[in-house]
Structure 1
């Protein structure tokens, strides 16, 4: 679906509502992980919510949001020990979710464009990668950092 035209504009409110619910679910899971670090269900819930958000963003041709959501999910999925997320890792994940929420608010409702510098996304992804040791750091980095190859 292209980011222009009436069809896209009609689909945007539903996407935004779904995206906000998925982000809220991710935030809820993250809050739960602050209380119970070894909760696999909360980690799986966050990964699933981020995957669904990426898929929904892709369907709306919102590549920046789709890629960022996917990168976060990949880093969580590729963690050496995902049930041992410490405060700094949880804080970095929270910053990513906050940026995603902010980006959703910046989508131009008429054109579907999201004009932004991806530097903040890249910085946050690098921070998460440093805070969450990866099983295969090279592979996870290539999958998670925009434009890395």
Structure 2
């Protein structure tokens, strides 16, 4: 779905500010997990922040960001041992948050388009999946979309 120029002028700056806040919160939770591995509050905070980011991205039809955020959130929520995240798992999650932040900067402020090669997202998701064993890996991003054009 293409967003109108007027819509972008009013909603994109607000979205970017909210997205930055949510990513910062997720990064703070991740930093906390480096110090205290079994902090369920930090894990919950990160999954809630990623879910909120996905919902906000959905509202602007930023599918790549919403699906990537949901996928990361799902992998954390579906972990066999969410309270046992090791250094490699935390690094993989950090790399995902870094990519999300970078992608937010690439949104065209005139058109609202985010043109990107999704291979980096795919590679990072595969890395997270390897580092965080899953209880039941059945995520289907196309089933999660709420907005279609």
Q: What TM-score does the superposition give when structure 1 sets the normalisation length?
A: 0.92
Query: Cα–Cα, structure 1 residues 143 and 136, in superposed 2: closer, same or farther, change >3 Å?
Result: farther
Offset of residue 143 of structure 1:
4.9
What stretches of structure 1 move > 6 A for 4+ residues in a row?
Answer: none
Distance 1:111 1:143 in 2: 24
1:38 alignment partner, SS class: coil
| Ranges in structure 1 where 5+ consecutive residues have no aligned partner | 145-149
1:2 Cα shift? 4.1
Aligned alpha-carbon RMSD (Å): 1.4
Counterpart mapping for 1:60-139 below 5 A: 60-137=60-137, 139=138
User: Which consecutive unaligned segments of at least 5 residues does structure 2 have?
Assistant: 143-149
Q: 3-state DSSP class of the match of 2:114?
A: coil
| Partner residue, 2:12 | 12
Question: Do the aligned partners of 1:2 and 1:8 also contact (CA within 8 Å) in 2?
Answer: no
Q: Would you say how many aligned residue pairs link Structure 1 and Structure 2?
A: 142
Per-residue CA deviations over 1:73-111 (Å, capped at 9, x if unaligned) read 000000001000000000000000000000000000000
CA deviations over 1:22-80 (Å, ceiling 9, x no partner): 00000000000000000000000000000000000000110000000000000000000
